[in-house]
A and B are shown apart, each in its own frame.
Chain A
């Protein structure tokens, strides 16, 4: 897959699938990023809906997005400060996903997956790994 949004999130964005997922309030909700080892599980944007759909063993590290904004970088654009994964000790990583954490995995929707970025795949060295979000913001509509 290329960088993109999960199909389920596209529906949630417009108020769909409310039986399973609440709408995402990007700047108020807890939004996380997770580094994924495709050797264990490759995220499927077409069918994966929530973080439970990515095998726990494939989730190498998770960090919470900080200082999130909507419409500050540009109208309709979401952004956050760069995200730091502290002292990553796991296997190599082919992509990362952004998701909303409701504290219940089955209701925590996957939002975006990025498998094309400078530095991917990344081979952790035991130190910190920082995702430097694009200057134009993480995503927009």
Chain B
């Protein structure tokens, strides 16, 4: 049974707050971040602040933030049952497009 830690930003609400971690540079070049639309050079924690400036993070994320803790953030409390999260798979730029292209080329079309 895991738990989350609720953080609160001192001024911002309803916005994504990013925290770059300079001590964790990416070893390999990154594509554009699908959220920020820019390639990050270092590990960057994305915090979606709600309407009161709160966000719940895992222990692991808290550990990352501790490497570059922003002064505007404070830990509020422990959350025993954090809400579920979803990643929705995208099919653009996908494997099958390359295969289909190869097939068309093989057919001489």
Contacts and interface: CB of A to CB of B under 8 A. Distances in A.
Interface string B36-61: 00000001111110000001111111
A93 B91 CA distance: 19
Contact of A4 (B24, B44, B93): B93
A91 B81 CA distance: 18
A138 B90 CA distance: 9
Give the contact-size bracket for chain A.
Answer: 35 or more
Nearest to A137: B91
Given A38-B26, A94-B30, A120-B34, A89 B60 contact: yes
Interface of B is mostly: mixed
A129 to B, nearest CB: 5
The listed residue with most A CB atoms (<10 A of its CB), out of B59, B81, B82, B92, is: B82
B77 to A, nearest CB: 13
26 contacts: A2-B31, A3-B90, A3-B93, A4-B95, A4-B98, A39-B43, A42-B26, A42-B30, A60-B60, A87-B1, A87-B2, A96-B87, A115-B34, A117-B89, A119-B87, A123-B47, A125-B82, A126-B2, A126-B82, A127-B2, A129-B85, A129-B86, A130-B86, A133-B89, A140-B96, A141-B95
